Amino acid sequence: MSNRGSFSGRIGFILAAAGSAVGLGNIWKFPYLAGQNGGAIFLIVYLLCIVFLCYPVMVGEISIGRSAGTDAYGSYSKLGGKRWGYLGMFGIIVGVMILSFYNVVAGWAFGYFLHISFGDLLNEPDMGGFFGSFVNDILDLSSAKGVANSNFLFSLIFMIMTAFIVARGVQKGIEGANKVMMPSLYIILIGIIVYALTLPNAMSGVKFYLIPDFSELKVQTFFEGLKQAFFSLSLGMGTLMTYGSYLSKKENIPGSAAVIATADTSVAFFAGLMVFPLVHFLQYKLQVDNIATAGPPLIFIVLPQVFHEMGAIVGRIIGGSFFLLVCFAALTSTISLIEVPVAYLVDTKKMQRKNVVWIMALIIFIVGMPTMMSQGMVPSLNKLFFYRGQDFLGFISDMCDISLTVGGCLMCIFISRRWGIQNMDAELAQGNETYMKSALRKYLHVCIRWVCPILLGIMSILVIIEKFIGLENIF
Ligand code: PHE
């Protein structure tokens, strides 16, 4: 092996890949999407997407990376020729885009962690107003509520932490950080759930979350479920391909992928089990209905109100832990995102990891500026004229979601039409002696050849139509 680095073994790889998967997608997006799309019914659609569409794509993606042993661009071009390299490059660019907005939202979470733990945000009478001015005024250095209020600064610090970890290399940096943060994340999550379930009206939240109401099932539910599943599992743009390239040939890919998918899905599931009892507790306190549909601000406006209701000390502990949890989840994902372009520059362009990491971090931070300024500071970014008046954050995150499903679809076509599914089999058989004769192999063949490319292709086209034209104008 060259000096490009590798994971120490199965556990290191699984923790890192699960760390990539578990992120804002699970704790910020999943609960608000479930809240907006009917609770339990969304959960069911989401699980179907994971089993039939995401798991096969995940196995395929890791096997490409491990077989080629290099970055996303290098892997596609090594196994499929220069033209396919463009698909790898597309993934790298999507990774840069995702990180650019992801880091902004991570910065908000970091700011909230500081404000709740060390400031007095919980005494704020108008949480909605606070959030509005917090995301709007990115440079405000006045120490509102006892903590400097600049989310420019918070995002910058977050990016520096990301770069610092990745600059230390695959084993010491990425694996080491995940080995600390992932177990802590689970412990905090379970702790908050246990507490949340003891609150008044918690069971009504659990019911909303777990008892399906089939009348809520819409075409929209499928789109949202699929996009969310891809985003949440970090699929379709080369993160798992890159991590797979650091995995030893001795390890069992289908088995590891099953553990990663289960770990990610369980965190999303538990995040719902944490958030809905909290939200229903607030509904009970304020005697109102349906705050669960608040959308993206759910964790930034509704939850701080919940923490306020818990009283000064408990609120500070539970609220601070909650946002620490969000920061851990986000950081294990940002390091995996930056690793994609970094691996490309190190492997294909033969550059020095340490330098490349800091340069990429700076570039991506700058690319994130429009997102940061789209929350009110610059009105034209707040209401995009070409995107039905939505803000830039919504726009870029939608574009990335679409790119992931398109990337996943093309990857399946790459495996069956270019690389050859027998080559994937040969890769998967290494580290898994029974694979060749297993039912799993047949299942993966059907999915990668037919089910995934066809369904992902159709869904991607429909989502593009939905976003730009509106489905109602076509059907
Ligand atoms: N899976 C991460 C999350 O759920 C986001 C992510 C997407 C990370 C794509 C890497 C690649 O937050």
pLDDT digits (tens, 9 = 90+) for 221-252: 999 999 999 999 999 999 999 999 999 999 99
Can you give the pLDDT at residue 143? 60
Cβ of 319 closer than 6 Å to ligand 1, yes or no, is: no
Average pLDDT, the chain: 94
Question: Both tokens of residue 117?
Answer: 């733990």
Pocket probe for ligand 1: among 57, 92, 242, 336, the residue whose CB has the most ligand atoms within 8 Å is: 336
* For ligand 1, atom 7: residue with the closest CA: 234
- Indicate the pLDDT class of residue 409, thresholds 50, 70 and 90: very high
Question: Both tokens of residue 367?
Answer: 């690319």
Pocket probe for ligand 1: among 46, 49, 299, 337, the residue whose CB has the most ligand atoms within 8 Å is: 337
Cβ of 150 closer than 6 Å to ligand 1, yes or no, is: no
Can you give the pLDDT at residue 297? 85
Task: Give percent above pLDDT 70 in the chain.
Answer: 97
Ligand 1 centroid to 237 CA: how many Å?
A: 10
The CA distances from residue 337 to 47, 95, 277, 364, 471, in Å, are 24, 6, 32, 11, 32
Which range has the worst mean pLDDT, 70-74, 285-289, 293-297? 293-297
Can you give the pLDDT at residue 1? 42
CA dihedral sign of residues 453, 456, 459, 465 = negative
Residue 128, pLDDT > 70, answer: yes
Closest of 471, 462, 128 to residue 304, by C-alpha: 128
Q: Taking residues 364-391, report their average pLDDT.
A: 95
Q: Taking residues 427-453, report their average pLDDT.
A: 98
Cβ of 21 closer than 6 Å to ligand 1, yes or no, is: yes
| Residues in contact with 461: Cβ distance below 8 Å, sequence separation at least 6, in sequence order | none
Q: Can you tell me the distance from the alpha carbon of 465 to that of 469, in angstroms, rounded to the nearest whole number?
A: 5
Cα 432 vs. chain centroid, distance in angstroms?
29
Cβ of 234 closer than 6 Å to ligand 1, yes or no, is: yes
Query: Which pLDDT tens digit goes with each residue over 302-336?
Result: 999 999 999 999 999 999 999 999 999 999 999 99
Instruction: State the burial class of residue 287 (Cβ atoms within 10 Å of its Cβ: 0-12, 13-18, 19+).
Output: exposed
Q: Taking residues 407-429, report their average pLDDT.
A: 98
Which range has the worst mean pLDDT, 171-175, 293-297, 382-386, 470-474? 470-474
Q: Taking residues 126-140, report their average pLDDT.
A: 89
Residue 343, pLDDT > 90, answer: yes
Can you give the pLDDT at residue 145? 55
Ligand 1 centroid to 328 CA: how many Å?
A: 13
Q: Can you tell me the distance from the alpha carbon of 26 to that of 40, in angstroms, rounded to the nearest whole number?
A: 15
Cβ of 332 closer than 6 Å to ligand 1, yes or no, is: no
For 50-81, where are the alpha helices, taking DSSP H only? 55-68, 72-80
Can you give the pLDDT at residue 107? 97
Closest atom of ligand 1 to CA, residue 236: 9
Ligand 1 centroid to 95 CA: how many Å?
A: 9
